[in-house]
DNA sequence: AGGAATGCCTGACTTAGATCAAGTTTTACT
DNA sequence: AGTAAAACTTGATCTAAGTCAGGCATTCCT
């Protein structure tokens, strides 16, 4: 199943400090020597084919992963085969903190498209956290951001109407892209409608209607998974439930 | 507002290794000497009066707290004054991880009743995490459990019908009590209906109806906030969406 | 290239749960 | 103790969103 994970592809491996994502996944304030240590501990550019699992629930906690290209979704599945998607992870995001509680993963992580990740195995992780304070702090920061993302999603699922959920989601993606130097006006969504609807806690049909509505209102332009935001301020305005 | 936090009450202070909660909040595998260090860093038995805030959004991250008695709710509030409750913290639980991302809290933490907490300030926290591996691991475990709780809540809000949400919640409380040596058949809920409804993403009226329904079906007996579980297996059976 | 399967959209209908309204009980305050 | 406020329940009504059904468009596979 997840056997299509291939060994490090030396050709695409790039030193961390030359990687465009280093700002995102590298803790600040590492000395040159510490950076070398971190770098030598990281397995670079592991390929996960579309629909393959990076890990599954109950797998032992082997590593923390940084998404280099592509995208990953994490989800919880029930005995009846239903699922709840917990998060989408895009380039620059770190995945794998869900296994901290028991040293085994508590959810599934699946590639939405062909994806490359860098991998920091847990032995190295513990060693580096033990000996480098800024590494430890950087990781806590990342875990904190993960918790923050989940809080935001709880607010979305608990308080918002469907249109508002989609508006908030799209605004979030736009802002994320902005902060990473990509276009905040036009982007591709990596996930199918089915997954996005599940993530946002609504039926696919409802999601589809909301896309249509936002388009009719001239707020966005939808072309399959290519989204163009025509009126960012109006879109943002639909997200009533902004945090105080 | 939160000014009614009073200084450490020496009278009620109990050494960590004599505290009945030590199993829960103390990391395993500390040497005697390490335990002494941890203990001397902890401020014990700080009282938070009912409705007072342990911390508020944007407060600087001063400490991690262990609930000793009473209960705390954490919540996100929006500009319009609506809120989403994120979690209820009962004796033995640790609160305060939400501030890891930016060194300031990202949600509010308010006492549901008069509550005592122990406090480990962040300076000590960092120092202990830096020098004691089992302390570091224990904290990661706790953060992982926090993430796991939130995943469970996302599943609840995203997939379950209202009756199932309540059933799952009650089963969870019962199991939690069981594992801590309290009664899993009979317990008081520390929060008002309003808060529980908000946490479970439904209207108060709906929550009330679901309580009545479970009572009519002879599954539980409700007396205000005192809940007696008459048919634990049937209650658990209502929680369809159990994780694979 | 052709066929099957998947993904996405739209319309018609149904329903779970929200909202509105009112009454009772419990708690809080002077 | 007495009054006001808050907490909880129940009933009647309404609506947002789910479900069902059908039809294109796109992707995947041989």
Looking at the complex, report in whole angstroms how far the Cα of residue B163 sits from the nearest Cα belonging to chain A: 16
CB contact under 8 A, A241 and B80: yes
CATH class held by domain A2-155? mainly beta
**Domain residue spans in chain A?**
2-155, 160-238
Contacts of B126 in chain A (CB under 8 A): 133, 137
Q: Tokens for A199?
A: 């993530």
- The closest nt to A223, taking CA to C1', is C8
Rounded to two decimals, what is the model's pTM? 0.94
Residue A22: the pLDDT is: 79
A217 burial via Cβ count (<10 Å: 0-12, 13-18, 19+): middle
Residue A122 contacts residue A29 (beta carbons within 8 Å): no
Least confident of A1-15, A106-120, B94-108: A1-15
Architecture category of domain A160-238 in CATH: Orthogonal Bundle (1.10)
Q: How confident is the model at residue A28 (pLDDT cuts 50, 70, 90)?
A: confident
CB contact under 8 A, A101 and B145: yes
Q: Tokens for A145?
A: 């951001």
Largest CA distance in chain A: 56
Contacts of A133 in chain B (CB under 8 A): 126, 130
CA distance B175 to B222: 18
**What are the two backbone dihedrals, phi and then psi, of residue B30, each rounded to the nearest 5 degrees?**
-80, 140
Residue A8: the pLDDT is: 39
CA distance A15 to A36: 10
Interface size between A and B, measured as CB pairs under 8 A: 154
Task: Say what angle helices A133-159 and A122-131 make with each other, to 10 degrees.
Answer: 120
Looking at the complex, report in whole angstroms how far the Cα of residue B126 sits from the nearest Cα belonging to chain A: 9
Topology alike, domains B2-155 and B160-238: no
Least confident of A21-25, B122-126, B127-131: A21-25
Q: Tokens for B8?
A: 């450490």
Output the distance from B63 CA to C17 C1' rounded to whole Å.
Answer: 41
Residue A27: the pLDDT is: 80
CB contact under 8 A, A143 and B100: yes
Quick: pLDDT tens for B20-38. Answer: 777 777 788 889 999 999 9
- The closest nt to A194, taking CA to C1', is C7
CB atoms within 10 A of CB B51: 12
Residue B11: the pLDDT is: 40
Q: H or E stretch including A228?
A: strand A226-229
Quick: pLDDT tens for A67-97. Answer: 999 999 999 999 888 999 999 999 999 999 9
Output the distance from B158 CA to D18 C1' rounded to whole Å.
Answer: 13
Quick: pLDDT tens for A217-235. Answer: 999 999 999 999 999 999 9
CB atoms within 10 A of CB B89: 26
Least confident of A42-56, A154-168, B145-159: A42-56
Those residues whose C-beta lies under 8 Å from the C-beta of residue B170, and which sit 6 or more positions away, are B220, B227, B229, B235
The residue that leads in pLDDT, A161 or B240, is A161
**Among B59, B123, B142, B143, the residue to mutate for chain A (most A Cβ within 10 A):** B143
Q: H or E stretch including A137?
A: helix A133-159
CB contact under 8 A, B143 and A97: yes
Q: How many residues does chain B have?
A: 244
What is the separation, in whole angstroms, between the first and last Cα of chain A? 45
Residue A13: the pLDDT is: 57
**Among B154, B155, B159, B204, the residue to mutate for chain A (most A Cβ within 10 A):** B154
CA dihedral B145, B147, B151, B154 (to 10 degrees): 130
CB contact under 8 A, A79 and B243: yes
Contacts of A107 in chain B (CB under 8 A): 151
Do β-strands B83-89 and A226-229 pair in parallel, antiparallel, or remain unpaired?
unpaired
Across the beta sheet with A226-229, the strand order is A186-188, A226-229, A220-223
Residue A206: the pLDDT is: 98
- The closest nt to A206, taking CA to C1', is D17
**Among A143, A195, A204, the residue to mutate for chain B (most B Cβ within 10 A):** A143
Query: Chain C bases under 7 Å from protein CB?
Result: 7-12, 16-21, 26-27
CB contact under 8 A, B144 and A86: no
Q: In this complex, which of A79, A126, A148 lies closest to B101 when CB atoms are compared?
A: A148
Output the distance from A148 CA to D5 C1' rounded to whole Å.
Answer: 36
Residue B45: the pLDDT is: 84
Residue B13: the pLDDT is: 57
Which DSSP string do the residues of chain B spell out, in sequence order? Answer: -GGGPPP--GGG---GGGSTTHHHHSPTT--HHHHHHHHHHEEEEEEE-TT-EEE-TT-B--EEEEEEES-EEEEEEBTTS-EEEEEEE-TT-EE-GGGTTTSB-SSEEEESSSEEEEEEEHHHHHHHHHH-HHHHHHHHHHHHHHHHHHHHHHHHHHH--HHHHHHHHHHHHHHHHHHTTS-SSEEE--S-HHHHHHHTTS-HHHHHHHHHHHHHTTSEEEETTEEEES-HHHHHHH----B-
Q: In this complex, which of B78, B133, B152 lies closest to A130 when CB atoms are compared?
A: B133
Looking at the complex, report in whole angstroms how far the Cα of residue B37 sits from the nearest Cα belonging to chain A: 18
Residue B4: the pLDDT is: 45
Phi-psi region of B226 (alpha: psi -120 to 50; beta: other; left: phi over 0): beta
Least confident of A181-190, B14-23, B198-207, B214-223: B14-23
Q: How confident is the model at residue A11 (pLDDT cuts 50, 70, 90)?
A: very low
| Cα nearest neighbour of A201 on chain B | B158
Question: For residue B69, what are the β-bridge partners?
Answer: B116
Closest listed residue to residue A100, CA positions, set B93, B143, B79, B227: B143
Residue B5: the pLDDT is: 52
- pLDDT for residue A1 is more than 50: no
| Cα nearest neighbour of A78 on chain B | B243
């Amino acid at each position: 199943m997840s056997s299509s994970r291939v060994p490090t592809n030396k050709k695409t491996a790039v030193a961390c400090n030359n990687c465009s994502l280093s700002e995102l996944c590298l803790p600040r304030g590492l000395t040159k020597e510490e950076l070398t240590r971190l770098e030598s501990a990281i397995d670079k550019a592991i390929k996960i084919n579309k629909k393959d699992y990076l890990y599954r629930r109950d797998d032992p906690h082997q590593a923390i992963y940084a998404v280099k290209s592509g995208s990953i979704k994490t989800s919880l599945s029930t005995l009846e085969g239903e699922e709840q998607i917990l998060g989408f992870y895009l380039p620059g995001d770190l995945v794998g903190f869900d296994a901290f509680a028991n040293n085994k993963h508590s959810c599934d992580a699946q590639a939405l498209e062909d994806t490359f990740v860098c991998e920091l195995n847990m032995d190295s992780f513990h060693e580096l956290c033990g000996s480098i304070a800024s590494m430890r702090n950087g990781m806590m920061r990342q875990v904190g951001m993960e918790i923050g993302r989940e809080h935001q999603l709880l607010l979305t699922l608990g308080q918002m109407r469907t249109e508002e959920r989609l508006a908030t989601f799209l605004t979030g993606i736009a802002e994320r892209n902005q902060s990473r130097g990509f276009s905040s006006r036009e982007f591709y969504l990596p996930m199918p409608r089915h997954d996005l609807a599940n993530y946002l806690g609504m039926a696919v049909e409802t999601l589809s209607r909301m896309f249509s509505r936002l388009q009719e209102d001239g707020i966005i332009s939808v072309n399959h998974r290519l989204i163009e935001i025509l009126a960012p301020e109006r879109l943002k305005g639909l997200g009533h439930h902004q945090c105080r």
